[in-house]
Chains A and B, each alone.
Chain A
């Protein structure tokens, strides 16, 4: 029996931890990509419909009924909306692609256990969630950007700073994934409606999507209170990268604070993840 046993043990591929972690991490990414590709239609619908309705109502319906909204100064409202809608698409992808599915996996299906038992540190399983969520956020940004830009009558005049745009998008997407992880590990299915009323709606309406942060100076208290909202820094950062002629926070501020918030959310999410999977 000893011979057979040692033979069985010998079959196992023994590699260095770093190589095996990398292989396992890659395996998780491949699995998630496959699952996403299967539900691509669903992904497209949930990504595109909301921003489409925004531009449709604000840039088509309102002007046509004589209730047009203008941006500050001479800027068109489309110019204000473009970075804002890209920002909200990025942020929501984190909640929809990472947060809500995790809430269910932890509470009901327990299927996450298989991936938790893969031979890599639990933190890396959690980070894979953030990273894959970030990739979906980036995809959402790529879809929403041209849709708003080329919407008839949008009248947007972007002056894109490509390097800053890429940096802002990377940090924003990772932060969105981290927000999703923090929500997914911190809330239970009964609280899902609350996620919408307490998180989704407030961060959207108070996320500097429809107005630059600087234009809030007339309501000073609100301008200060919404600084806790990560979406503010995403919108303002993207504004600086896409439509810098509109007022925006200086990029080191928006990017810097977003990195801090993202890191905080990632820490919270990973801690929550470990708590949920380890007894």
Chain B
């Protein structure tokens, strides 16, 4: 175990007895360095939330061990909670309290006295552009604002590691970008961030490193660039065909310069080892199968996921 790791996950498993019985997480290992933004990317139901739940004391592991800032999460849950901030998928703001009070009482729970808690709450309201809503009830906040407040609350006690579970799920694009900026700023300050997402752009844009997770297992781990390079192709051609797709796959796979082809969700994907060379020949071949549309993209994390699982990531 690296001495300076913020989070170490060893052989972590979670089995739910059911019915139906589910192995939500199957013996995963990972290590997140201090100051890193680490992403768990995977489709809904992949085990991301359960993994974060076990790291944040909310889900009791069936087996394995998690340490956060050197503290064993299972052996000392309160000690671990003092070191982490958590933003769950759900709005867990205290509905009996105002925006300001949500921050103030959170600070009190984490040991600040009345004056420090008030000062910290006021500072966060300014930072997160919520000052004009200080006395509003949290029920009156828009989705984006509520999420900003949840993030503000989660870092109010200056945690070593911030966990965010699907932080931008259900947010409008503007709020999503605003949240990315907030996370970028936290990263610059050196906070370790672990987030789960099923948005590949989000993982690509935010994460220093990420793990792709599916059916409770980590399929691959690395920087976004490493993962995309690992696909071994330069360009992905997505073909929408009217005709026989199976036939097209066979015909296209023998075109020079084509690495491989497959059908994903009704579209034919053609992976090219070089950028432009084989394209005219691919188009020529596809025309015979009723080519309706085509798109060229560089390999994305979606490409990586498809290559690993044969399925698309989007839900």
Contact = CB atoms under 8 A, between A and B. Distances in A.
Nearest to A21: B78
Of A6, A23, A27, A119, most buried by chain B (CB within 10 Å of CB) is A119
A157 interface: no
B58 A278 contact: yes
A7 B96 contact: no
Contact of B58 (A9, A30, A38, A279): A279
A197 interface: no
A8 B95 contact: no
A31 B105 CA distance: 6
B88 A113 contact: yes
A119 B59 contact: no
B4 A2 contact: yes
A14 to B, nearest CB: 8
A122 to B, nearest CB: 7
Interface string A1-19: 1111111110111010101
Contact of B95 (A15, A27, A109, A122): A109
B111 interface: yes
A56 to B, nearest CB: 32
Chain A's interface: helix, strand, loop or mixed, by majority? helix
Given A111-B92, A114-B92, A122-B77, A9 B160 contact: yes
A279 B77 CA distance: 14
B157 A12 contact: yes
Given A5-B190, A114-B92, A23 B77 contact: no
A127 to B, nearest CB: 14
Contacts of A111: 92-96
Nearest to B159: A12
A20 B82 contact: yes
Contacts of A13: 110-112
Contacts of A38: 96
Interface string B51-84: 0010011111000000001000000011101110
B110 A278 contact: no
Contacts of A159: none
Contact of A27 (B90, B109, B158): B109
B228 interface: no
A119 B108 contact: no
Contacts of B157: 12
Contact of A279 (B50, B95, B109): B50
Contact of A8 (B78, B86, B97, B189): B189
A253 interface: no
A256 interface: no
Interface string A98-141: 00000000000111011111111110000000000000000000
B189 A4 contact: yes
B7 to A, nearest CB: 13
Of B91, B102, B111, B157, most buried by chain A (CB within 10 Å of CB) is B111
B191 interface: yes
A114 B106 contact: yes
Contacts of B57: 117
Contact of B101 (A1, A6, A24, A34): A34
A206 interface: no
Given A4-B35, A12-B158, A120-B78, A27 B108 contact: yes
A106 to B, nearest CB: 12
A99 B60 CA distance: 25
Given A23-B108, A31-B101, A31-B105, 5 more contacts: A1-B190, A9-B160, A23-B110, A28-B109, A114-B102
Interface of A: 1-9, 11-13, 15, 17, 19-21, 23-24, 26-28, 30-31, 34-35, 38, 109-111, 113-122, 277-279
8 contacts: A4-B189, A5-B6, A5-B35, A8-B190, A12-B159, A27-B111, A31-B94, A120-B109
Interface of B: 4, 6, 34-35, 50, 53, 56-60, 69, 77-79, 81-83, 86, 88, 90-97, 101-102, 105-106, 108-112, 153, 157-160, 189-192
Q: Name the 3 nearest CB pairs between A and B, nearest first.
A: A4-B190, A27-B108, A118-B109
